Amino acid sequence: MGNWVENEGLSIFVIFVWLALNVFLFTWYYFVYDLGEKFYYTRELLGCCSVRVRRQLDRNLTFHKLVAWMIALHTTIHTIAHLFNVENLVNARNENKTTIQSVLSHLEDTKNETYLNFARKKLPNPEGGLYVAFTTLAGLSGVIITLCLILIITSSTKTIRRSYFEVFWFTHHLFVIFFAGLVIHGAGQIVRGQIKTSLDEHKPSICAKQFTQWGKTPECPIPQFSGNPPMTWKWVVGPMILYLCERLVRFWRSQQKVVITKVVIHPFKTIELQMKKKGFRMEVGQYIFVKCPAISMLEWHPFTLTSAPEEDYFSIHIRIVGDWTEGLFNVCGCDKQEFQDAWKLPKIAVDGPFGTASEDVFSYETVMLVGAGIGVTPFASVLKSVWYKYCNDATNLRLKK
């Protein structure tokens, strides 16, 4: 139990904090819309309030998938809730002024009024719902970002990633359209509430039951409404700036010269690339991102380093399992029988190295390495480094077995 807490404690803590923040934000805004007097008539119209250190960084993909599934879940809830909302709004817009919902829906039909119901055309369902979805900024942007999310999720399945990596890679970059659409999604301000000056003159708790007398008595003038300003950009701009900075750093790193010193063909369609790069430093078990412009100007692929820090080069082992690796196999001349000159080898861009939990292997007295197939590559680096350290008689080495 103690070892589990030591190894997994930080990961569990980060996920717990992230989930706690989500619960807090959900609860906070639920009560904002459910209890706030500003949204009294919004609730009347809709019928209800819409319910809406390193070791951790080593598991960034696991956390990324968790966040993705949470986005998919909340998108589903958000979309279904709005489908019911739009149905109620369109129906209310087509009713005569016999209910408070229909009276609220007809606001702005005359001068000096502001609307609450964003379904402005009198069309029956489903035509009215489709009209709202494809003619309003919120509706159209919502359809686009939902389609982007569906494509991103469906192309992220294991089968697509393994067999059609390019499809996965390019559809995943629809996230740019997704977040751009997410930022402008709220600009239409379809969620509207009563403005403060109107609340001072028109008390919903008193006037709601007298909706037929609105504007006829001084106690209950016509309520005035306005939309909420867009808020999503506040949550998106920070991560987007970090992403752009990361891309700039990666671009700068990719411009640094990398020399392939040796290409080795191993059994079972596996090749080894030995490379050198000025200022490159690594630790055991780390990985790098590799791009080969001769194959693709955009694709970066991660590979574990199989060399040891004590060696004067760094190497990766690549198994030929897809289009990109097949292309690398060919441009490196591995499909030819004759000896290949070094100057004919393709240009390679390298980003990294990046850390993994394997870096801590020398912090323990006993270590067990488990791997199979190409999954043994991290341990090649570890075993090489152990051998070098024992050859150099490392007296301060904590690792015993």
Give the Å distances, CA to CA, from 200 to 37, 207, 257.
11, 12, 68
Across 328-341, b (16+ Cβ under 10 Å) vs e yields bbebbbeeeeeeee
- The parts of the chain modelled with pLDDT lower than 70 are 1-9, 33-37, 39-41, 43-59, 337-343, 356-360, 371-375, 378, 393-401
Phi, psi of 44 (to 5 degrees): -65, -40
Alpha-carbon Rg for the chain in angstroms: 30
Sheet arrangement for strand 287-291: 301-304, 287-291, 349-354
Give the Å distances, CA to CA, from 291 to 86, 253, 351.
47, 11, 9
Closest C-alpha among 230, 332, 338 to residue 274: 332
- Distance of alpha carbon 335 from alpha carbon 263, whole angstroms: 12
pLDDT of residue 152: 92
Closest C-alpha among 143, 154, 238 to residue 184: 143
DSSP-based three-state secondary structure for 356: coil
Both structure tokens of 184: 């402008």
Q: How crowded is residue 281: how many other Cβ atoms within 10 Å of its Cβ?
A: 9
What is the residue whose two structure tokens read 């569990």? 12
Q: How crowded is residue 190: how many other Cβ atoms within 10 Å of its Cβ?
A: 22
Closest C-alpha among 226, 204, 39 to residue 118: 226
pLDDT of residue 398: 66
Closest C-alpha among 149, 150, 152, 131 to residue 140: 131
CA terminus-to-terminus distance, the chain: 22
On the CB side of 283, CA atoms within 13 Å amount to: 9
Position 27: which residue type? T
pLDDT of residue 58: 55
Strand partners, 258: 277
Cβ(101)–Cβ(119) below 8 Å: no
Cβ(285)–Cβ(292) below 8 Å: no
pLDDT of residue 50: 39
Q: How crowded is residue 16: how many other Cβ atoms within 10 Å of its Cβ?
A: 10
Across 72-102, b (16+ Cβ under 10 Å) vs e yields eeebeeeeebbeebbebbbbbbbeeeeebbb
pLDDT of residue 373: 62
- Distance of alpha carbon 104 from alpha carbon 43, whole angstroms: 11
DSSP-based three-state secondary structure for 298: coil
Decide the pairing of beta strands 287-291 and 270-277.
unpaired
- Distance of alpha carbon 175 from alpha carbon 305, whole angstroms: 29
Both structure tokens of 259: 């020399």
Decide the pairing of beta strands 287-291 and 349-354.
antiparallel
Give the Å distances, CA to CA, from 91 to 40, 120, 121, 383.
19, 11, 11, 70
Crossing angle of the two packed helices 137-154 and 127-135, in degrees rounded to 10: 80
